[in-house]
Structure 1
Amino acid sequence: MTIGDDGSRSTIYKRKGIGEREPVRGNKDFGDNLQFLADFSTNQTNSSSKPTQPIDVNNRFQVPSPSTRHQYVGFVGDEALLSIPNNCPKLTLLHLADTTSLGNTRGNPNHDGYTSEDARISHVTLVDFFSGLPLIEELVLDVCKNMRDSGLALEVLGSKCPKLRVLKLGQFHSVCMAVGSNLDGVALCEGLESLSIKNSADLDDMRLIEIGRGCGRLKRFEAIGCKRITVKGVRTLACLLTKSLVEVKISCCINLDAAGTLRALDPSPKFVI
């Protein structure tokens, strides 16, 4: 994956076979920072014997055959984001992550969780994006910019994507509200088995408890850079999910060091920490 010679285009590699790569030029409107990884569902075509031709998506980039990993460098906004479900509605796995998030896996414990800029993705677009991927099973979204008030869109994700099992979110704020006894937001994604939340500025103990109440099938939970969660919240989450939860990862949460995490999960020797 490289930047074009003129500095304004990115090079996209479509994997053709072992040791063989074909570069595809991206649109100059893409910036220089975003990596987009997508595995396309084998259900994308009706017959495996019929060759699959690349699809031209709004003249911006080419989509490879099913089950091929694709990479982009650049910024994805509303138009580019919606082109994914519009042209690939049978996706089962999609990773959309800023390259800086891949390199900084632990985060900054002193960071408040908010970035200086908000993402250029509207709530309406996010709702349409989720609605257009009914077969998605694994989804990673981390554009390293604020996605504020994301709870409503995540409710749509829960209702429109019943097969979703793995969800990783970065810079998503207000993933649920924890107001009263009603479940909302990501807590309505009841089929989740693995949930990772990174740099969510307002994720606190009450929201953790709501997630534990709503996502009763969770086997794995991860929190990175969420400064408001404490021993109480993690302990209650673990108690609510005692029948399913087997792995908990907590890092760069200023109120939860290693000793605090161990206290929160004690006496539960089955946990992998």
Structure 2
Amino acid sequence: MIQLPRWVLAAAGLGTVFLLLPLAAITAEVNWGQFIPLITSESSLAALSLSLRTATVSTLLCVLLGVPLALVLARLRFPGKRLVRALVLLPLVLPPVVGGIALLYTFGRQGLLGGVLDVLGIQIAFSTTAVVLAQTFVALPFLVLSVEGALRTAGTRYEAVAATLGAGPGTVLRRVTVPLVLPGLASGAVLSFARCLGEFGATLAFAGSLEGVTRTLPLEIYLQRETDADAAVALSLVLVAVAVVVVGLSYRSTSAGTPAVRQ
């Protein structure tokens, strides 16, 4: 069994306490007698429903856009590849509100594409579509990182053998590459869903806070904090519970191993 220095164990224990104490504090502050009524109020259910629907659609967009991006970054060599990767991962370090403002000046009425969209009768800013785009913008790097890492870990030997045996690029992708990286894809999708569900800054800047239209659960918690602290704490605990489930699913999918390549 590997032995670690005592100071490492002490620091690890301190870090664990630092992470768990706020969760314990918020749990202790919950008004359990009113918990169910607080989280089942009309505004809370509307916000939760909107969050779940938009997070699901955003996660699907992340998969549709992120898997090809990860494949290009992991399998191809081209000039400017490092710059492309840096730009793809930029939302990870960019303050979400800045991302929301950037989206507003891209898709808003006065934005880069606003004039064209207005002529077509399409208004994206301050709509449910804006919520989906904001969530996708901040969550996409999680999917790309997970799938790219899985691709690099899997290597290219199975794909090379399949190509040598006469399989076309589409067949190799469908029957070899995707099964190899499926655990990483599942983990990335779960993490992206969690990031979409907890998104606040970009959504507020780009979509606003219209009840039933753009007011997601994090926005509802922020507003309730000013008027009803008990409701804000109860809804926060709901998000914590969802996050725990998501982390558990992500860990399970990561630990499941690599599936067998289809014959």
Please say whether Structure 1 and Structure 2 have the same fold, judged by a TM-score greater than 0.5. Answer: no
In terms of fraction of residues, the more strand-rich structure is 1
In terms of fraction of residues, the more helix-rich structure is 2
Q: TM-score, length-normalised on structure 2? A: 0.21
Greater Rg by CA: 2
Q: TM-score, length-normalised on structure 1? A: 0.21
